[in-house]
């Protein structure tokens, strides 16, 4: 692995902090979305704004889902650091360049594999 222990420890700390913050955000967003969905609570909006209110609630829920995906990615990364598989492409098994990991600590694929995956996705 191309990353030293001190850098990994720092990354683990950072990821744990990020996951904790995301957990809070997800909880707050679920709460916020529920509040938006209950009509009559917010007197600043009239009935014409209902469609806006609903779509706003949907956006909030979508963001919470994205946050949950990120939490899952962080947990997967923390796990791979623990078992020593961090920084190895899950697809082809090469070491992911440290520069890529620095830019995208949650990356699980090397650049060529990620590129191929994105191409395959677009074709669908
Ligand atoms: Zn690869």
pLDDT tens track for 25-65: 999 887 877 666 655 555 555 556 666 666 777 777 788 88
pLDDT in the model for residue 49: 63
pLDDT in the model for residue 89: 96
CA–CA dist 93, 91 (Å, integer): 6
80-96: average pLDDT: 95
Nearest CA among 93, 91, 94, 87 for reference residue 114: 91
* Residue 73: pLDDT over 90: yes
CA–CA dist 26, 29 (Å, integer): 5
CA angle 98, 101, 102 (to 5 degrees): 85
H-helix segments, the chain: 5-37, 50-82, 98-103, 111-123
Structure tokens at 107: 């990356």
Q: What distance in angstroms lies between residue 73's CA and the mean position of ligand 1's atoms? A: 18
Which residues have CB less than 5 Å away from ligand 1 (the ion)? Answer: 89, 91-92, 110, 113
pLDDT-derived band at 19 (thresholds 50, 70, 90) equals: very high
pTM: 0.72
Q: What distance in angstroms lies between residue 94's CA and the mean position of ligand 1's atoms? A: 6
């Amino acid at each position: 692995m191309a990353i030293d222990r001190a850098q990994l420890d720092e990354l683990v700390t950072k990821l744990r902090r990020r996951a904790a913050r995301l957990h809070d955000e997800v909880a707050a967003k679920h709460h916020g979305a529920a509040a938006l969905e209950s009509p009559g609570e917010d007197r600043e909006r009239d009935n014409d704004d209902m469609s806006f209110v609903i779509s706003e609630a949907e956006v909030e829920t979508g963001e919470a889902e994205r946050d949950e995906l990120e939490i899952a990615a962080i947990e997967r990364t923390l796990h791979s650091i623990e078992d020593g598989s961090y920084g190895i492409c899950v697809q082809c098994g090469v070491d992911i360049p440290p520069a890529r990991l620095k830019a995208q600590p949650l990356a699980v694929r090397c650049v060529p594999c990620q590129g191929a995956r994105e191409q395959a996705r677009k074709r669908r």
